[in-house]
Structure 1
Amino acid sequence: MIKKLITFLFSGVTLLTLLAGCRGHDDHSALLTLLQDIRNRPPGTIAPLPETLTPPLVHYTGSQQPSPFKLHKEQRTPASSIGADPFTPDSVSPQGVLEQHPLQELSFVGTLQLSDDRTPKAFIDDGHGEVHKVIAGQYMGQNFGRVVKISEDTIYIEETVQDEQGTWVTRPRQLKLVMEADE
């Protein structure tokens, strides 16, 4: 019984509070004046849209023209028949630990270079709790990425990938040093 009375009183107070917020305001004169000023402004003109050019229609019959979705015979010729592809990676040599992880999983966490050593060493976190030492010339990532240069805050890598025609090409990649946020 008391619970119902408390619920009823609480509902009543909530209803009265909501209704108090909805009471009418008589001072809308500033808003009405602003709306009237906007209505009294002269109408503007809109520039016409530029004329669009319709491209010519080309009908593809399929029998008279080559398919745009298949490679032509000269494109299908393997690179090995033309000559040795200079960027073909060595897929026979055993892979290192860092070559088993995608480059996106690897984090550059630090460098070390002793005063009497000319070769800087980078430290890479493999994302699975292991930190590995890397020097220039080693490979990392699943796209035959060779470490070209190590600076204080960047590791420069050349990955070897195949393009659309199956030719091996190199592309530059970088790993930036991961900075921990101050706590």
Structure 2
Amino acid sequence: MLTISACDDPKQQMAQQMQQSQVEQTQSDNRSQGKLPSQTLSTTTTMPVQAAELITPYVYAATGLRSPFKVHGAVLVTQNQPQTQLKTPPAPSPPPVLVVAQPAQVEPVQPEPVAQRQPGPPPDAGRPRQPLEAYGLSELIYRGMMATGNTKAGLIQRPDGAVLRVGLGQYLGQRSGRIVEITATQINLIETVFDPQVGYKPMPASLIAPISR
């Protein structure tokens, strides 16, 4: 059996292994055909062994790539770059505070008290009272007007049914109502009414005839 010395070159080792395999295959064939080993060796050609080539070992090192163990976006630190510190973002400013001014409380203005007047005797207290001043206007009924030339007179019915004739300047009612106008439908007069703030004051009033149906 032919033995080939080992070599450090992988290619040479593979070539030697192929040669050895061919030799073994040839010897196996010769045995099966009854040939001697010497005859086989004589026909076998020995190839020269090439000198081994020294290869410098290569060490793989990944540089300049992002580390998978660091958060994306962080600063990459390599052997050729100085270490840099991450800048801390400034703290957010507090939201503005809305200050609502309270409206000033205004004290309500109190009206000055008005001196209350006490009712006294009416201005015409010394005047003689007329018959129709004994009744209120709501008790009297106006029945119409009578005219004689330029003179007008009104007809007033009392509660007892009696009808009296009145003219301009006369009085009726319980508020010293003086007659100032006589028409076919009503009598207009001026009453003297007491007001606690100003005392006695004049106020218009009317006695209207009922509508006949």
Question: TM-score, normalised to structure 1's length?
Answer: 0.50
Q: Verify: 1:149 aligned to 2:181, yes or no.
A: yes
Would you tell me which structure has more helix in proportion to its own residues? Answer: 1
Aligned residues: 107
CA contact (8 A) 1:89 1:144 kept: no
Q: Structure 1, unaligned stretches of length 5 or more?
A: 1-55, 60-64, 81-87
* Deviation digits for residues 98-143 of structure 1 (CA, Å, limit 9, x no counterpart): 00001111110011002xx212100001121111101010000000
Unaligned runs of 5+ in 2: 1-104
Aligned to 1:102, which of 104, 127, 136? 136
**Greater RCO between the two (CA within 8 Å, min separation 6)?**
1
SS at match of 2:151: coil
Q: Which moved more, 1:146-155 or 1:164-173?
A: 164-173
Letter in structure 1 aligned against 2:185: D
Please report how far the alpha carbon of residue 96 of structure 1 lies from its aligned counterpart in structure 2 after TM superposition: 0.9
Residue of 60, 80, 89 corresponding to 2:123: 89
User: Following the alignment from structure 1 to structure 2, what is the Cα–Cα distance between the partners of residues 107 and 148?
Assistant: 17
What is the identity, as a one-letter code, of the residue corresponding to 2:209? L
Question: How many percent of aligned residue pairs carry the same amino acid?
Answer: 31
Please show how residues 59-70 of structure 1 align to structure 2 within 5 Å: none
Q: Contact conserved, 1:160 with 1:169, CA < 8 A, in 2? A: yes
Cα separation, 1, equivalents of 2:145 and 2:191: 21
How far did residue 177 of structure 1 move? 1.6
Residue among 144, 147, 151 paired with 1:119: 151
Larger radius of gyration: 2
TM-score (norm: length of structure 2): 0.44
Residue among 156, 170, 174 paired with 1:138: 170
